[in-house]
Amino acid sequence: MSSSKKKDKGKAIQKAEDYQLQVPVQNQFSPLQTQFPPLPYKTAVTNPSSSNPTDAYVIRHIEHLLVTSCKPPPPRNIISSITQKTFGPHHFATDDLRKSQKFYELILVDTQAVSITHTFDKHHPTQILYSKCIIRDVFTAQQWKDPFEEREFSISYKPQTYNYNNYKNAWYRAFLLQPNIHSWFFNFHEQCSNTFPIGSTIGGLCSDA
């Protein structure tokens, strides 16, 4: 019994290479420049923005949630159809179709912020029954140094780079994995810090420090 436990320790933990075989989806969005041409210099100077100059030093992260009210509640067998029509292949609203749940999950795995293990259905090998996530660290903006720096994944992936804003979003979006049929089990690593950035990036797991 003890030998089997030792053998399974660390087995099937997700590595960066596990995310490599992904088919990138081309971004279908067109640039807005043709619809919203830049303002002439004279217009911009004579009509300055009325926003408070102190707001330039405050970066707000706002994510609007789409709320749907169904009375009576829909049957479980059509919930996936509703989410497909609302979000497409994702379980969240995105402005870049290439930044999928796998993209955000890879960010956390590649930065070694978490250790993730997926357990697959024996009869349906592509379906994940449940997953385990061990939180190892949460990086602050100070640790990241330059929040606008584009870091590269350790493997070939599309998109190839990510920044600190993507990292923060990853704590919300990486775990939106078929929520209607999938479960997550969370735990903290014994060496994980017990203090987190104010406005913690771990959605629903930690409150502000």
Domain ranges for the chain, please list them: 96-209
- Report which secondary-structure segment, H or E, holds 110: helix 101-110
Mean pLDDT of 99-127: 92
| Structure tokens given for 129 | 């029954």
| Structure tokens given for 188 | 């903290």
Give yes or no for a cis peptide into 159 (omega within 30° of 0): yes
Summarised one tens digit per residue, pLDDT across range 80-109 is 677 667 666 666 777 777 888 899 999 999
User: Does position 2 have pLDDT exceeding 70, yes or no?
Assistant: no
Predicted pLDDT of residue 184: 92
Q: Select the more confidently predicted residue: 175 or 68.
A: 175
User: Does position 203 have pLDDT exceeding 60, yes or no?
Assistant: no
Give the DSSP letter of residue 152.
E
User: Does position 12 have pLDDT exceeding 90, yes or no?
Assistant: no
Task: Name the maximum alpha-carbon separation found in the chain.
Answer: 78
Predicted pLDDT of residue 209: 34
The residue with tokens 């087995």 is 11
User: Residue 151: what are its φ and ψ, rounded to 5°?
Assistant: -95, 150
User: Does position 49 have pLDDT exceeding 70, yes or no?
Assistant: no
CA separation for the pair 144, 26 (Å, rounded)? 29
| Structure tokens given for 194 | 């017990």
CB atoms under 10 Å from CB of 155, counted, come to 14
CA distances from 188 to 7, 40, 191 (A): 22, 53, 8
Mean of all residue pLDDT scores within the chain: 74
pLDDT tier, 155 (very low <50, low <70, confident <90, very high otherwise) = very high
CA separation for the pair 114, 107 (Å, rounded)? 9
CA separation for the pair 203, 170 (Å, rounded)? 10
Predicted pLDDT of residue 142: 85
Predicted pLDDT of residue 179: 67
Mean pLDDT of 7-23: 67
Summarised one tens digit per residue, pLDDT across range 55-69 is 555 556 566 666 667
